[in-house]
Amino acid sequence: MSFSISQSDSDKTFMKLFTEEEAKSLLPEVKRLWRSVDQARGVLQQLEPEARLAAAQAADGGGGTVYGFQYAAALNDFLAGVQSILSLGVEIKDLNRGLCDFPHMRDGRVVYLCWQRGEDSIEWWHDIDAGFAGRQPL
């Protein structure tokens, strides 16, 4: 599943803009948060069959499984990690790839500094409407 999590259009009026230095200095924290998100997603994926079973049994008055609390804790950790990344002003573009963008002013227009899991540093940028395919080296 690939989707984008970012600010609503009304929130973009107050979009945080990062300098290259700010984005690069924030990257260790973003990486730490991604590890937390990835760990929680792993637990959610592992417990998904149990969650489906609990949901199916809920209509019959059941619903609880021994993994319910673990699933709820992992869901809470996942949401907290995602919210923490977003609260930094970073936009999440793809959860599977660990892809995110840092809004940045370049040549008088807003673009994105682009980073994905596995990259050591922020070394790419792209126009807002170009997406990942339009990445260019800094």
Each residue's pLDDT tens digit, 69-105:
888 899 999 999 999 999 999 999 999 999 999 999 9
pTM, rounded to two decimals:
0.82
Residue 137 covered by a domain: no
- Predicted local distance difference test score (pLDDT) of residue 3: 46
What is the tally of structural domains in the chain? 1
67, 62, 72, 37: which is closest to 49 by C-alpha? 67
- Classify residue 5: in a domain, yes or no: no
Range of the domain at 126: 16-130
Q: Is position 43 within any domain? A: yes
Q: Is residue 20 part of a domain?
A: yes
Strand, helix or coil for residue 126: strand
